[in-house]
Amino acid sequence: MSFDFEKLEVYKKSKIFNKEVALFLDHTKITRNKRDQLERAAFSIMLNIAEGSGRFTKPDKRNFYIIARGSAFECVAIFDYLKDQNTIDEKGFNKFYSSLEEISKMLFSLIKVLK
């Protein structure tokens, strides 16, 4: 048995992204509130994709994918701030930025289909 969201490529990518964020946080010293915010935003992407896939109506599914995309944007803003604070270097920032850009585009495609 499997759940629909497990088959979604965007879910798989958000799961990998979460693992990368966890590794980054394990090796980075940042304040607890910034750490918690990044963890929650990253986790929110994955969880909202899963929850949205379980909804029955297009508007319900779409709403959860919109929330997931918003959380991806939130992660970009956090990493941008961390880059400005010299907490993450340009190479690390670009890696996360690229992952989030890809996830955001995939979510946008799902959102467009559900209009």
The CATH code of the domain that includes 106 is 1.20.1440.60
Q: Which residues contact 12 (CB under 8 A, 6 or more apart)?
A: 6
pLDDT tens across 92-108, in order? 999 999 999 999 999 99
pLDDT tens across 34-89, in order? 999 999 999 999 999 999 999 999 999 999 999 999 999 999 999 999 999 999 99
Domain extent at residue 71: 4-113
Phi-psi label, residue 55: left if phi above 0, alpha if psi -120 to 50, beta otherwise: beta
- Token pair recorded at residue 3: 């759940």
Cα dist. 23→16, 44, 56, 62, 73 in Å? 11, 17, 35, 30, 20
How many C-beta neighbours within 10 Å does residue 47 have? 19
Q: Name the domain count of the chain.
A: 1
Phi, psi of 76 (to 5 degrees): -60, -45
